Amino acid sequence: MTGLPRTILGIAMALALAVAPAAGAERETRALEVGARERLLVVSPHPDDETLGAGGLMERVLSRGGSARVVLLTAGDGYVEAVVHATGLPRPRPTQYIAYGERRLGEARAAMRELGGNRIRLQVLGFPDGGLEQLLHAYWRRSHPELSPTTAAREPPYPEAVARDVAYDGADLRRELLHILRETQPTVVAFPDPLDAHPDHRAAGLFTLLALETWTREGGPMPKLLAYLVHWPGWPPGWDQAPPPASESHSLELPTNLPARGQERASLALGQAEVREKRLALGRYASQQEEMATVLAAFVRRTEPFTVFAPDEVGHVDRMVERHILRHAEHDEPAGVTPAPPGR
């Protein structure tokens, strides 16, 4: 997550209307079963999304003898409102955005320890926060590398980023994810829903599917594909209530107006200890708790919901990207014409 949900609500509402499903599109949700010794890969656009969307899933996979790996596409350094808030400066410097990114990475490490001791492998690619969708569009058009809108860097500025010499380019992001798939050989991939209302999340989902397309075309076995949702208008219920409602005994369902796309929905029922650890892990994101405690709390429920992508969706990812670019083309106009993406 990055960006104040209230600031994106207007844009998000417009997007939701643009993709509103026909009446009666609601589908049955089935229970998600986690097998023994799964290899789980979680793709996360910003530090905290992995826990919001799949914290309980990581715990379950580990408790069943499997492994979990988290790849953060960005360090979450583009959250302008939060950096303005933290520094007291109307126009923070690039170094202050980088310091904010370092803080969020430290929080992510602490959150992963909360969920899995030292058993969750965490890595950051350091691509530009707030710039993933532009990266996707540019990649699709074979245009020039993107410049991060906040850190003024053309390469990931974090020493721990795995690919420091990689310039910001969508082809590199696809390759990095492909490399991770080859290395991890995942049996389950949890990734952002390509219909998420946040542009970084949509793009992260599509980049994951693009990497999976190459991976399976070269003979890699198709993992189970679980899309998680973070940003959607008016969701999760109770996100704007202060103090947060006592929601941990309730289930969390995907929004009824999220298009079903002919896909199944699955829900992972969490035990009390798993719910507690998810809450503790989110508590480690102090920088985000300062900005949106009620939003984070609204994700701590006794279930985690996913859309299960059918394997043949991976083969159709090119069409999905083209549809996506057409749908969001009006948001890709010169600065000053289009509202700024959230978090900027």
Binding site for Zn ion (CB under 5 A): 1-2, 45-46, 49
User: What is the closest distance, in whole angstroms, from the C-beta atom of residue 80 to Zn ion in the complex?
Assistant: 14
User: What is the closest distance, in whole angstroms, from the C-beta atom of residue 187 to Zn ion in the complex?
Assistant: 25
By DSSP bridging, strand 303-309 and strand 224-228 are antiparallel
Closer of 2 and 307 to Zn ion (Cβ): 2
User: What is the closest distance, in whole angstroms, from the C-beta atom of residue 49 to Zn ion in the complex?
Assistant: 4
Which one-letter DSSP state was computed for residue 91?
Answer: S
Closer of 170 and 341 to Zn ion (Cβ): 341
Check: CB of residue 262 under 8 Å from CB of residue 27: no
User: What is the closest distance, in whole angstroms, from the C-beta atom of residue 165 to Zn ion in the complex?
Assistant: 26
Residue 76 to residues 54, 67, 224: CA-CA distances in angstroms? 18, 25, 27
Closer of 45 and 66 to Zn ion (Cβ): 45
Question: Does residue 50 sit in helix, strand or coil?
Answer: helix
Closer of 66 and 305 to Zn ion (Cβ): 305
As given in the structure block, the two tokens for residue 28 are: 């049955």
Closer of 45 and 223 to Zn ion (Cβ): 45
User: What is the closest distance, in whole angstroms, from the C-beta atom of residue 1 to Zn ion in the complex?
Assistant: 4
As given in the structure block, the two tokens for residue 53 are: 């969307």
Closer of 34 and 136 to Zn ion (Cβ): 136
Contacts of 49 (CB under 8 A, 6+ apart): 1, 192, 201, 228, 230
Closer of 51 and 267 to Zn ion (Cβ): 51
User: What is the closest distance, in whole angstroms, from the C-beta atom of residue 226 to Zn ion in the complex?
Assistant: 17
User: What is the closest distance, in whole angstroms, from the C-beta atom of residue 45 to Zn ion in the complex?
Assistant: 5
Closer of 2 and 67 to Zn ion (Cβ): 2
**Which residue is closest to Zn ion by CB?**
46
User: What is the closest distance, in whole angstroms, from the C-beta atom of residue 343 to Zn ion in the complex?
Assistant: 8
Whole-number Å distance between alpha carbons of 57 and 273: 13
Question: Does residue 302 sit in helix, strand or coil?
Answer: coil
Closer of 66 and 130 to Zn ion (Cβ): 130
By DSSP bridging, strand 303-309 and strand 188-192 are unpaired
Bond into 236 cis (ω within 30)? yes
User: What is the closest distance, in whole angstroms, from the C-beta atom of residue 161 to Zn ion in the complex?
Assistant: 18
Rg of the chain's alpha carbons, rounded to an integer? Answer: 18
Give the long-range contacts of residues 152-160, CB within 8 A, separation 24 or more: 152/94, 153/94, 153/98, 153/128, 155/126, 156/124, 156/125, 156/126, 156/127, 157/98, 157/101, 157/126, 158/75, 158/98, 158/101, 158/102, 158/105, 158/124, 158/126, 160/105, 160/123, 160/124
Check: CB of residue 230 under 8 Å from CB of residue 196: yes
